[in-house]
Amino acid sequence: MLDLIKLRNRHGYQSIRDIPNAKLSGMHRGFPVIDESKCMDDCQKCSDICPASAISLKPLSIDIGKCTFCGECERVCGYGSVKFINEYKSGSTDREKLIITSNKSFEEFRKDAIIKRKEIHKLFGRSLKFRQVSAAGCNGCEMELAACSNVNFDMGRFGIDFVASPRHADGVVITGPVSKNMAPALMDAFNSVNEPKIVIAAGACAISGGIFAESDELNRKFFDEIKIDLYIPGCPPHPLNFINSVLDFIRKK
Of the residues 83, 113, 143, the one at which a domain ends: 113
Q: Is residue 208 part of a domain?
A: yes
Report d(CA 96, CA 20) in Å as an integer.
24
Same structural domain, 102 and 145: no
- pLDDT score for 219: 97
Report d(CA 113, CA 94) in Å as an integer.
7
Report d(CA 197, CA 61) in Å as an integer.
33
Report d(CA 237, CA 244) in Å as an integer.
11
Same structural domain, 92 and 155: no
Report d(CA 248, CA 243) in Å as an integer.
9
Angle subtended at Cα 34 by Cα 29 and Cα 37, rounded to the nearest 5 degrees: 150
- pLDDT score for 84: 96
Same structural domain, 181 and 235: yes
Same structural domain, 134 and 232: yes
Check which CATH number belongs to the domain holding 181 and give it: 3.40.50.12280
Q: Is residue 131 part of a domain?
A: yes
- pLDDT score for 135: 97
Alpha helices in the chain (DSSP H): 2-11, 45-49, 72-76, 106-113, 118-124, 140-147, 182-192, 204-208, 222-225, 239-250
Report d(CA 97, CA 99) in Å as an integer.
5
Q: Is residue 7 part of a domain?
A: no
Check which CATH number belongs to the domain holding 95 and give it: 3.30.70.3270
Q: Is residue 149 part of a domain?
A: yes
- pLDDT score for 11: 66
Q: Is residue 228 part of a domain?
A: yes
- pLDDT score for 196: 95
- pLDDT score for 253: 67
- Write the burial class of residue 111 (CB in 10 Å: 0-12 exposed, 13-18 middle, 19+ buried): exposed
Q: Is residue 211 part of a domain?
A: yes
Structural domain including 173 reads 118-250
Successive 10-residue mean pLDDT values, the chain, 253 residues: 76 83 93 92 89 94 97 91 95 97 95 92 94 96 96 95 96 98 97 96 97 96 97 97 97 76
Same structural domain, 201 and 229: yes
